[in-house]
Amino acid sequence: MKDNIYGNIPCFLGAENLVKKGEYDTDVIFYGAPFEGESTWGDYTGVELGPKQIRSSSARYSGYLPELDHVDVTEHLTFGDAGDVPFVAHDNEQSYQNIEDFSAELWKTGKFLVGFGGEHGVTYPILKSLADSGKTVGIIHLDAHYDNMPDYEGEQYARNTPFMRLYETEGVRNESIIHTGIHGPRNKPDTGRYAKENGAVTITINDIREAKDLRAYAKEIYDMAAKDVDVVYLSICSDVLDFAYNPGGPVDGNGLTSYELLTMIHEFGKHGLIGMDYVEVYPMMDANQHSAHFVSYAVLYVLAGHLKHLGKI
């Protein structure tokens, strides 16, 4: 119990408890951003429980991937869990500031960071802190939706606004923001227009499906994100997956399969990422926690690619 990150919750994938240790000295650092502000659809809520369930579900898994040349990620990388950012209920601005301050300290380590949401709004303060450190940032944004509205009922810090805030952030190159996997009628006409007006690139689900070579197309997407920037960051919203593969996420059809998503993010990892996040897992909507379990797969596939990038395998 003393090694748990809090309560009865284990560290992600058996990572070392860095809160207890007091040092950020592992190759990979996991952390949670359990923030939820206004719900943009009825009572579809509970996303702040995502980091807790993602960690609990990860206890089932090792780092071994026989389908990827029998790599065991944990043989080559050390894992640490830095705990969770404090969430201030009913104060989105303060919660965002907490995320920005927390992630700024982690970016100083130069380690590979993996954040767990929480809603997609958490990506903005995470990347603002990276850009403020002096890095020019490109972003591969995997999502069904643009999440680039100016506000939600007057609130600038909401789950459907982070990419509008990132368009406005100095140090983020808008032309290297690649909205990838976009699909479905939960998008609004304005969102596609906002992306175009701000110079961001749209890759739809059909663009991905019609690519003859998925791995080669992933390299093309990566190259667009990497153009004229110092670093590339990966942000994954659960609903880029079809709801058949994402029962604990928003209800969106015609999305990626788990194979398509894992293949693409493994390729992104091979070409060089500074970090990633995985957001919008709703444990209260998923009796068997399939979506939370899948996060372990996604992280390990990225890290297996990262090992190739580092030349360790």
Chain centroid to Cα 46, Å, comes to 17
**Residue type, position 129, single letter:** S
Q: Is 151 flagged in the annotation as binding?
A: no
Torsion of CA 276, 309, 297, 242, to 10 degrees: 70
Query: 124-153 b/e with 16+ CB inside 10 Å = b?
Result: bbbbbbbbeeebebbbbbbbbbbbbbeebe
Q: How far is it, in rounded angstroms, from Cα 16 to Cα 138?
A: 30
Q: Is 237 flagged in the annotation as binding?
A: yes
Nearest to 65 by CA among 312, 296, 309: 296
Q: What DSSP designation does 179 have?
A: E
Q: Is 145 flagged in the annotation as binding?
A: yes
Classify strands 71-72 and 64-65 as parallel, antiparallel or unpaired: antiparallel
Q: Is 143 flagged in the annotation as binding?
A: yes
Classify strands 172-182 and 16-17 as parallel, antiparallel or unpaired: unpaired
Residues within the annotated binding site?
120, 143, 145, 147, 237, 239
Binding residues for Mn(2+), as ranges, are 120, 143, 145, 147, 237, 239
